[in-house]
Chains A and B, each alone.
Chain A
Amino acid sequence: MTYLIPALILGGCGILAGVLLTVASKIFYVKVDEKIEKINESLPQANCGACGYAGCGDYAAAIVNDGAETNLCKPGGVDAAGKIAAILGTTAVEVIPTAAVVHCNGNCEATESAFEFDGVQSCKAAKRFYGGSGKCRYGCLGLGDCAEVCDNDAIVIKNGLASVIKSKCGSCGKCVKACPNSLISIRPLAKHIDVLCSSKDNGKLTKMSCKNGCIGCKICEKKCPNGAITVTDFHASINYDLCTNCGICMTACPVKAIHSCVK
């Protein structure tokens, strides 16, 4: 009896509460648009915020209620856009698969440290201390702030240099914001020719600090048949809308600063 009565009382209260809630949930039932739930299910639930909304649920609600674009989900890509279009009964909007790329090739062989950095091991902290410990002020600091924020473990620090594993990248853009040197950008996955240098120093200074640096000679700019390359601040950058992956710039570059990054 010592155990039975308390158990009964507690159980009784529990059942009573359950019944009350069930009744109340019927009375106060709010109709939720079933499209929102379906769209939410077809999203990857990464809640990365790359679409510009607070999370997958928020984006799903925005699609149905505010008519938001259906191709904003970066991790979901073509898959998610297709499913959303099917639910809404519209034609799928084209999704260009994208991936992040680190515009620096200053690995341990190419460049060296100017001094030893003993502080907090993060790129942001290192950057504040005389612009980082590397000889090149613009290059990858290699302490992995980008790898830390990545939800997909798509960034690895190899040989003092961050590199993106394209197959894992969800293009959420967190690393773009995390890099204190703004070395990372999101570009179409199909366009695999990248300038792997962001040094704003002139050719001579760049050459002194890093073997792999772009010296801003403008040969690629002249050779590119599509006019996709422009050299500003002593480094080349590619306009991916015009680039056709021909690779002429790659072979023309005298310092081999342009690479084909397929993986």
Chain B
Amino acid sequence: MKEMMVILLSAMLTDNFVLAKFMGICPFLGVSKKFDSAFGMGAAVTFVILCATVVTYPIHHGILVPNGLAYLDTVIFILVIALFVQLVEMILKKSIPALYKSLGVYLPLITTNCAVLGSAVLNIDNDYTFIQSIVNSIGAGLGFMLALIIFSGVRKKMEYADIPETFKGVPATLIAASIVSVSFMGFSGLFS
């Protein structure tokens, strides 16, 4: 149990996918303008990461490794991820159209969000068991959501800030992102 907690919290905080590993920066900058869409995006990515892990782990250990085809990992994983992204898109379009609209182009872009592929591959690379993989991917997803939500708060404050003309928009956002990232460096070494 203790080991699981360590995996979960380290995936969320010390090895935060966005702020420590710099994966999934695109939606991190794109969808973090509003709290609602940040939360929705985080939930969607968490769902996709979790589903992808649940499916890719058995595929890797049950089909690919026995046949000596571990090199097919990336291709198959991307296929699985794309499948789940499409499913999430359909479900959202049907049940929460408002969220579907506010996520916009970033929803299909989860397919190319390296955080999703990254967590699936890292689970294999770290030789996690099935349960550990699931915990790790939940942690990765929650960490992604945490980063997005924290950053949406930062950006809300930034809207009222008096920023020099040159830095308005993307430059200021990137600087803010780096400062938030530095703050997460404080967690390093917490669980090792």
Contact = CB atoms under 8 A, between A and B. Distances in A.
Interface in A1-37: 5-6, 9-10, 13-14, 17, 20-21, 24-25, 28-30
B94 interface: yes
Contact of B69 (A5, A17, A25, A29): A5
Residue of A5, A13, A21, A29 contacting most chain B CB atoms (<10 Å): A13
A14 to B, nearest CB: 6
A29 B95 CA distance: 11
A116 B64 CA distance: 69
Nearest to A8: B67
Given A5-B69, A28-B91, A21 B75 contact: no
B67 A5 contact: yes
A28 B100 CA distance: 14
Contacts of A25: 90
Nearest to B63: A9
A10 B76 contact: yes
A116 B190 CA distance: 63
Interface residues of A, number: 14
Contacts of B82: 17
B69 A28 contact: no
A9 B67 contact: yes
B75 A10 contact: yes
Contact of A14 (B59, B79, B91, B97): B79
B186 to A, nearest CB: 41
Contacts of B67: 5-6, 9
B69 A21 contact: no
Contacts of A14: 79
A53 B72 CA distance: 45
Contact of A21 (B64, B76, B86, B93): B86
Contacts of A24: 86-87, 90
B76 to A, nearest CB: 6
Contacts of A20: 83, 87
Given A5-B69, A6-B69, A9-B67, A17 B80 contact: yes
B116 to A, nearest CB: 15
A30 B93 contact: yes
A63 to B, nearest CB: 18
A35 B93 CA distance: 19
A21 B88 CA distance: 11
B72 A21 contact: no
B69 to A, nearest CB: 5
Nearest to B59: A13
A10 B83 CA distance: 14
A202 B137 CA distance: 73
Contact of B72 (A9, A17, A30): A9
A9 B79 contact: no
Contacts of B80: 13, 17
Contact of B79 (A5, A13, A28, A30): A13
Interface of B: 59, 63-64, 67, 69, 72, 75-76, 79-80, 82-83, 86-87, 90-91, 93-94, 97
12 contacts: A9-B67, A9-B76, A10-B76, A10-B79, A13-B80, A14-B79, A17-B80, A17-B82, A20-B87, A21-B86, A24-B90, A28-B90
